[in-house]
Chain A
Amino acid sequence: MTDPVAGSDPPPFAEVRDFVREEVVRFVRSLRHAGVAVPANAGVTAARALVEVGFDDETRARAALRACLVADPDDAATFDRQFPEFWRRLTAGLSLSGPAPRDSDGPEGALAPLGADPSAEPPGTTPDDGGDGSADDGSDGAADSRTATERALVGSGLDGDDGEEGGEDDDLAAAWYSPVGQASEVTGIEGGRGGLVGSLEEAFSTLTPALHSLRGRRWRGDGDERADVRRALRASFGTGGTVLSVPRTERRLADVRALWFVDVSRSVLETVDRTLLLATLQYARSAWRDCRIVLFDEDAREVTDAFGEPTPSAALAALERAETEWGGGTRIGGSLASFHRTTPDAVDRRTVVFVVSDGLEMGDVGELEAELAWLSARARGVVWLNPLAAAPAYEPTAAGMASALPFLDGLFAFAAPADLAEVGRQLARNGLGGRIGYEYDPRRDRASA
């Protein structure tokens, strides 16, 4: 218990009402300035709460204001950091000696210290004109000056060109990787550009309905054609109890929620077919209702907007930027933790999370386990797409992949559109939690034989 007025009686509340109101407003503004999502009417509630609990107990006042101003546990730390300064000012102002001076008062009158660097630019505001421009310009000529990613995308239909110059489709039909020491060829994109688009459409025509079939209690095995008895009965009242038509339950096919968490470390970019990767992400972004895309390497960055552009140059630039900025080892757990920390609500129980990675964790495996435990508990399902798993001899023995495995609903290959179709086929047949994964892929058995 503290004595805020240091032995003197506080002035009657009516006399300090304006002061308290002002301090509460300043506190709310300060919290918002520090990134806390304070509800719109929270200041009023907070003032009422403060009157209810009184001004003589800091602990009680802290609990009361936290209940009113904080609606997310992640914001609690910021609140706790700023509350002492608010309390110091408030209690000093209630004494006869008047308000205490502020340590420093910013131009907007925010509390000090703010706990945040006002000069810091919000993430994602770095200029990227050059990136877009170079990607688009590069297709007009000077092919040698292009980056590896751009060269890989030439003629694929994903480089922002109309594809007329073509001629390099055959080069894109294969990717090389060496999961077990010896390089082997992945053939999946038959027919070049046209084949890729067609194959992806085909793959998503299997995958999308399969993801729908994962819906919970409301949508059981009866499918979309169940009669809606309640609506039929209601409608019948207007016709004297005669049922003229039987309405059917409905759901929209595009209502898929997904989060793609894509590893763009060097080890992955050198094994995965980048054309396929970008095309898959773009297709998913356009075909599904809610699809977020996060690239990661040693940190995570959301690039959903880049994949929402009508032309693929923004997506290409995003991949380029990620490769340039990081391009080193992989901290899967650290990146997940970073994303978890900054965007805790990105995943809910309707979201299917696709992780595209080779599982070669260079960071703390324990952190990876912790984050995947959170993810698996929170998401509807976690599907891991590993380009290495396309090899018949592949086994998830790498430390990161082995640690991640218990938290996954399925580990699949990712080297061709057919792999996505296989994910859809297995999900449709066995659902999440069933016997699904690369080990149940019949193509693997055939390849081994």
Chain B
Amino acid sequence: MTEGRPTAFADLTEAELRDALDREEYVADDDVVTTVLLALRLGKPLLVEGEPGAGKTELAKVLADGFGTELVRLQCYEGLTAENALYEWNYTKQLLAVQSGTDDGSVFTEEYLLERPLLRALRGGGERPPVLLVDEVDRADEAFEALLLEVLSDHQVSIPEYGTVAAETPPVVVLTSNRTRALSDALKRRCLYLHVSPPSFEKEREILARKVPELDGAIAAELCAMAERVREEPLRKPPGAAETIDWARAVATLRREGEPASLSPAEVRETIGCLLKEVEDVRRVDDDLLEALVEAAESARAEVTS
């Protein structure tokens, strides 16, 4: 274990973290800031769970951008192997070297080593180590999860033919999960845990104000109110903040000068596909639900313009 190993962010202050997030237009609640700050200071991996579109992946991206360091992304999927994630030998090059007799006695040297994301993250340490994003770790097999434990615990990897590669400074590790399967206790034990809930009305308004500044504030409030109302329905895929941003961008693009101030039911119906990504969910928006959405929108507009 690497408890006590100095981390690059040991002296990071909350103000510095908030500045970094603000610069990247990431709207974070206080508990998110506290948890991320702890993960950075303690050098612990951060396991982020929540609905798709809640901003889990975005968090890793803004940390990398905000601190001016490299983002190394490992997208997990079923069947992901050590070769895909850690390192591979360049077999073709090795074979050619052996056949041509140009090798200097070994084909297991740096020259033939192909870095994959985990090795890249371990060897990329400098003053500011890279941010390693292990995205959707719940999609990978349990076997891969076990492999990941070694890297998370020791920040090193042993390559039998080459030796041990250890990180000089542990990378910042962010793991995301959609909870499609239970993660092992061993993995959870190594991580700090953060659950990202769907944004509140106010938070979503702030997100839209930052991400889609060209959109009228009252229209943004209408969209947020409707998104909040839609989330109350039993949907196959409830929309996250990412979908609301898509929707807002679509509305901002389609609306022309001189159009009515409020969103019309027709506009909502035409663009609702940006918010809902399952055909059953789109079909669910019948006249009754549309009416309820418009009512919610009107209330929100009245509230923000009063």
Contacts and interface: CB of A to CB of B under 8 A. Distances in A.
Tell me if chain B binds chain A.
yes
Interface of A: 37, 39-42, 45, 48-49, 52-53, 59-60, 62-64, 66-68, 70-71, 73, 76, 215-218, 230, 233-234, 237, 241, 344-345, 348-350, 366, 369-373, 376-378, 406-407
11 contacts: A49-B42, A52-B38, A64-B34, A68-B38, A68-B193, A216-B78, A218-B79, A237-B94, A348-B138, A349-B180, A407-B236
B34 A60 contact: yes
Interface in B20-61: 30-31, 34-35, 37-39, 41-42, 44, 47, 49
Contact of A37 (B138, B185, B194, B195): B185
B103 to A, nearest CB: 13
Nearest to A371: B234
A179 B39 CA distance: 59
A52 B40 CA distance: 11
Contact of B234 (A237, A344, A366): A366
B66 to A, nearest CB: 20
Nearest to A346: B182
A348 B42 contact: no
Nearest to B1: A41
Contact of B78 (A73, A218, A406): A218
A344 B194 CA distance: 18
Given A39-B188, A60-B30, A349 B79 contact: no
**Closest CB pairs A-B (n = 4):** A348-B181, A218-B79, A345-B182, A370-B234
A45 B42 contact: yes
Nearest to B235: A373
B44 A233 contact: no
B42 A71 contact: no
Contacts, number: 99
A225 B193 CA distance: 41
Given A241-B98, A370-B234, A406-B280, A39 B185 contact: yes
B87 to A, nearest CB: 14
B173 to A, nearest CB: 14
Contact of B44 (A45, A218, A348, A372): A45
Contacts of A45: 42, 44, 192
A64 B189 contact: no
B77 A217 contact: yes
Contact of B35 (A63, A215, A370, A376): A63
B269 interface: no
A241 B182 CA distance: 42
Interface in B195-242: 195, 234-237
Contacts of A378: 179-180
Contacts of B83: 230
Given A45-B42, A52-B38, A345-B182, A70 B31 contact: no
Nearest to B183: A71
A76 B193 CA distance: 11
Interface centre among B47, B188, B194, B283 (most CB of A within 10 A): B188
Given A64-B35, A376-B236, A378-B180, A71 B280 contact: no
A377 B44 contact: no
Nearest to B30: A59
Given A71-B188, A218-B79, A64 B193 contact: no
Contacts of A233: 91
A215 B98 CA distance: 39
Given A39-B189, A59-B30, A233-B91, A67 B236 contact: no
B159 interface: no
Nearest to A48: B42
B95 interface: yes
Contact of B280 (A49, A241, A350, A407): A407
Interface in B139-158: 139
A373 B236 contact: yes
A60 B18 CA distance: 14
Given A59-B30, A373-B234, A348 B38 contact: no
Given A63-B35, A366-B234, A217 B79 contact: yes
Nearest to B194: A67
Contacts of A49: 38, 42, 192
B143 to A, nearest CB: 12
A53 B38 contact: yes
A3 B98 CA distance: 71
Contacts of A63: 30-31, 34-35
B34 A71 contact: no
Contacts of A62: 31
A352 B41 CA distance: 42
Given A59-B30, A66-B35, A67-B35, 10 more contacts: A59-B31, A62-B31, A68-B192, A68-B193, A71-B191, A241-B95, A345-B181, A349-B139, A349-B180, A377-B237
A41 B195 contact: no
B77 A41 contact: no
B126 to A, nearest CB: 24
